[in-house]
Structures are given as C-alpha cells and as structure tokens.
Chains A and B, each alone.
Chain A
Amino acid sequence: MDTFDVIASLIKVVVVFGAIILTVAIMTLAERRVAGFIQYRLGPNRVGPWGLLQPVADGLKFFLKEDIIPDNVNKPIYLLAPVITIVPALMTFAVIPFGASLEIAGHTVKLQVADINIGLLYILALTSVGVYGLVLAGWSSGSKYPLLGGLRSSAQLISYELAMGLAIVGVIMVSGGLTFNEIVAHQQATSWNFWKQPLAALVFLVAIFAETNRLPFDLTEAEQELVGGYHTEYSSFKYIMFFLSEYANMITASAFMVCLFFGGWDIPFVDEAALGNWGVVFSVLAFAFKVGFFLFLYIWIRWTFPRFRYDQLMRLGWKVMLPLGLVNIFAVGLWMALRA
C-alpha cells in the first residue's frame, strides 16, 4: 500500500462518513415531509426556507437537552449501549461499492472504502452486533419498558436474520462470490438479480425492514405499548446515537439491497466504461438514486401500513419467510443444475 492508496482511503472514509451523516440529516426532514404529504399537509416549514433548516434545529435541540442518567441504571453498560449500536451502524457501509472504479494518474481507485473478500459476511456479522446495543440498552436501563423493547428486538432479529441469510444464499449461488464487487459485476454482465430472483428480493426486503426496526416491524420501540422502547431512559446525546444508528442502518440496508438485487451502481443499457471518468460520476449518481428510492420506500411504507402484532411478526418470520427463502434456494439450485 503506497501513499496514494492511503490518501485515497482516507478521502473515501471521510466522504462516506460525511455522506451518511448528511443523508441522515436529510432523512429526518424527508421522513416528516413525506409523512405530511401523505396526510394532506405540508410537514415542517417553519425553520428556514421550506423548513430546510429543520435538521439543524433538531440537532441543536438534542445537544442542548439535559443529559439524564437515571439512578438505578447499570451505568457502564447503560453508557456503552449506544456506542455498541452506532459503531457497527457506521462501519457496515465500508464494504459497499458506491460507484465504478476511478482512474487517477495510473491508479485504479475503487469507490468502496474496503474491498474485503468476505464483504457479505462482514455486513451480516456487523448488523447482528448492532442488536446487542439495543438489548443491553434495554436491560441496563433498569426499567420494564426498555427491557421489553430490548427482548423484542433480539427475538425479532433471530426470526429475520435466518430468512435474510437464506435470501442472500441464492444471490451468492448465482454470482459465485462473496464480495460486493463480484456480485455487482455479475449483475452487470448478465441482468439484475431482481429479475432472476424476485422471491429472494422480496424476502430480503421484508427482512431488512425487520432488521432496521422500521414499521411495520418497529416492535422494539412501539411507543404506544413501550413508551419509547429500548431507548425510553435515554436522553440528549445518548439518544441521538440510537437515532443516528437507526437511520445509518436504513441507509446501509438500502445500499445492501441495491447491491444484491438492483445491480449496485450499474446503469441498465449504458456502458459506463465507455464514458471514462464521467461514467464513474453517473454510476455514483445511479447508485445514490437507487438507494434514495429505497429510503423513500422505507418512509412510504411506514406511513402506509400498521404495525405487526408480536405473534404475527414471529409467524411471518418463521412460517412464511423462512420457507420462501428455502424455496428460492431450491429453485436456484435446480435452475443451475439444469443449465450446467
């Protein structure tokens, strides 16, 4: 690794981190805007032109709020939990390729922070670490509601992680690689995995909704039943860490979805390589657009469907998603055997 690579990596880390934080800020505004539009109202429009400064106001409010630590919490774990949640949330994006490779002064720069050869497993591992934060937050708060929220999140994770894994297996089978670059390249060479495995895409989509604790699966923070869920006892900066990680997880999950099933940064019917470095720019835009669509889908679904009941969630996970995932693997295997 020479100096060039080091500098390039540093720049990529900063850019990706900045992009995630910026997107989270935009999402907090978009969430309420879309909610408003769906409900025939305008949403935030007081702070700044068209309410654009609302995220800034929110951020300031969080920082200025009183930082409360309740008496009967298990202090070290209580303070560690938000960190355990946010670190994986920000780390997962590292292996996601967000554009085609860039040629600078004879060097090829991959638009991806780290191209490790077990990228997929890395993401799966990290997303499951994140849930420890929720469980620990719930347990250490020393209060019933957070405890229930934390327990729910672990049960939810177990039910959906399996289906999610099974959905990914089908993709790995056809693309023959565990790195995102291989998967994207394979989709570029043939067609998007969505067309080949719509069932897996569907299972995966539902699974990432459950994974990110978003409606209709936001049982961990169901306000009506759990006051606030696992973060009931958290305030100001500690709370904002949970908040940030939820949105960062959504961004990563959307990017994950795009890479696995919607061709990553691939623009259909266009050869990016022929466009040179401009192709790279377009590929990044295409990627951003696709991720943006899924982020919109997250919000759209949130304001359309009611929350699942706890047993319904379990039933869906074990009795519907898991079999569907297996059916998909079987079908893909059969198809590959017949073609071979």
Chain B
Amino acid sequence: MRTYEPRFWDRFYLLALAQGLFITLVRFFKRKDTIQYPEKKHVPPAGYRGLHRLNKFDDGRIKCVACEMCQTACPAHCIDIEPSAAPWEDGEERYPVKFEIDLLRCIFCGFCEIACPKDAIELTEIYDFSAYTRDNLRIDMEGLLKVFDVTKNGNVYARQNRGERIEVPIAR
C-alpha cells in the first residue's frame, strides 16, 4: 500500500514542490476532456434518470391507468394525478385527466418507474431542462406525453450530436 509519509527529500520541500509543478505541467499539455456544451452534448449512459415521460400505445392512447401507484411510491410527493373514466369503449377503463409532476421537488429516484404496473411512467435521459419560473417546472400530462414523442426514437443527445434538431419540452 502507498503511504504518504514524507520521504527524506520531501523534508526539504523543494523537490516535492518541483514534483508538483511537473505534474501540473504535464496536465497542461494533455488532451482536454471538456465537452463544448451547448454545441455538443454529453450522452448519459443507459439507465440515466432524467426528465419523466408518459408512454403511449401505438394508437396514441396513454398507457397510464391512473392507479396512483407512482404517486404512492413517490418519496417526494411530487406527483399529482386526477383519475377519470376513459372516454374510449375498448381497452382500459380509467385514465388520468390530470397528471402533473413538480420537477423541483422530484429527486429523480425512479421509484415511480418501478412502481408502475403498466410501464406507463419512465425516466428519460434528458437532463438539461430548466426554466425561469417555478411554475414552468411543473410538467403536465401534455408535456409528459410530448417527452415521449421526442425520446421514443433513441437517445435525444446522441441524435442532437449527429445534427438532428430536436425541441426538448420545457427546456427553454
């Protein structure tokens, strides 16, 4: 194991100082790791927990049945659901008329995702959403469905880096 007891020469400081200077000088010439953010975006690894989305069936209907499991599981109490009878004849009988998440309170733990029996709520890779007012960071059902639309075709940032223009909802 490496110990950090000063060596004999370290007691004179100068050699140790020169060593330190050398280390920083070497770093000076090394390749830079910076991602030039607004132009290039960091692609988070799979499983990253960012902005939420509400999934839809192929026919465009929302998958959520307003069972409120996610609301119950949420440790931050930031999900607000209002259930109602579904307007359609076939398929699920309940759906939410209101589905809001207070993103300022959310801790992005992903519990809602785990709790959902219908795989309706999911966390996406989107990390750069911000707003000037607190109200703008309450995302509603429409917004959550829009997030699904932009994220369903693969990683948003990977696509943006390839030059595709994608509007991320609520990011402004």
- What residues on B are CB-neighbors of A34 within 8 Å? 28
CA–CA, A327 and B31, complex, Å: 44
Distance of B139 from chain A, by nearest CB (Å): 30
Interface of B is mostly: helix
Distance of B87 from chain A, by nearest CB (Å): 51
Distance of A276 from chain B, by nearest CB (Å): 38
- A303 near B24 (CB under 8 angstroms)? yes
Contacts of A11-39 to chain B: CB distance below 8 A: 34, 36-39
- B20 near A41 (CB under 8 angstroms)? no
Q: Which of B14, B23, B25, B33 contacts A40 (CB 8 A)?
A: B33
CA–CA, A45 and B37, complex, Å: 12
Q: Which of A38, A40, A303 contacts B34 (CB 8 A)?
A: A40
- What residues on A are CB-neighbors of B31 within 8 Å? 40
Q: Check if A300 is an interface residue, CB within 8 A of chain B.
A: yes
- What residues on B are CB-neighbors of A202 within 8 Å? 14
Distance of A305 from chain B, by nearest CB (Å): 7
User: What 1/0 mask marks residues of chain B from 12 to 36 whose CB sits below 8 Å from any chain A CB?
Assistant: 0010010011011101111111101
- What residues on B are CB-neighbors of A47 within 8 Å? none
CA–CA, A118 and B28, complex, Å: 41
Distance of B14 from chain A, by nearest CB (Å): 8
Distance of A54 from chain B, by nearest CB (Å): 16
Nearest-neighbor residue (CB-CB) of A33 within chain B: B28
Contacts of A244-268 to chain B: CB distance below 8 A: none
Q: Which of B23, B25, B29, B33 contacts A41 (CB 8 A)?
A: B33
Contacts of B32-53 to chain A: CB distance below 8 A: 32-34, 36
Nearest-neighbor residue (CB-CB) of A39 within chain B: B27
CA–CA, A67 and B24, complex, Å: 38
Distance of B27 from chain A, by nearest CB (Å): 5
- What residues on B are CB-neighbors of A37 within 8 Å? 27-29, 32
CA–CA, A202 and B18, complex, Å: 13
Contacts of A299-332 to chain B: CB distance below 8 A: 300-301, 303-305
Q: Check if A42 is an interface residue, CB within 8 A of chain B.
A: yes
- B24 near A40 (CB under 8 angstroms)? no
Distance of A45 from chain B, by nearest CB (Å): 8
- What residues on A are CB-neighbors of B36 within 8 Å? 42, 45
- A42 near B34 (CB under 8 angstroms)? yes
- What residues on A are CB-neighbors of B33 within 8 Å? 40-41
- What residues on B are CB-neighbors of A42 within 8 Å? 32, 34, 36
CA–CA, A38 and B30, complex, Å: 8
Distance of A295 from chain B, by nearest CB (Å): 15
- What residues on A are CB-neighbors of B17 within 8 Å? 305
- What residues on A are CB-neighbors of B34 within 8 Å? 36, 40-42
CA–CA, A42 and B21, complex, Å: 19
Contacts of A63-87 to chain B: CB distance below 8 A: none
CA–CA, A305 and B34, complex, Å: 23
Distance of A297 from chain B, by nearest CB (Å): 9
Q: Which of B14, B24, B30 contacts A304 (CB 8 A)?
A: B24
CA–CA, A22 and B136, complex, Å: 46
- B30 near A300 (CB under 8 angstroms)? no
Nearest-neighbor residue (CB-CB) of A41 within chain B: B34
Nearest-neighbor residue (CB-CB) of B29 within chain A: A37
Distance of B42 from chain A, by nearest CB (Å): 14
Contacts A34-B28, A300-B24 aside, 18 further interface pairs with beta carbons under 8 A come to: A37-B27, A37-B28, A37-B29, A38-B27, A39-B27, A40-B31, A40-B32, A40-B33, A41-B32, A42-B32, A42-B36, A202-B14, A300-B21, A300-B25, A300-B28, A301-B21, A304-B20, A304-B21
8 contacts between A and B (CB under 8 A): A34-B28, A37-B29, A38-B24, A40-B34, A41-B33, A304-B21, A304-B24, A305-B17
Chain A interface residues (CB < 8 Å from chain B): 34, 36-42, 45, 202, 300-301, 303-305
Which 5 residue pairs spanning A and B have beta carbons closest together?
A41-B34, A304-B24, A37-B28, A40-B33, A38-B24
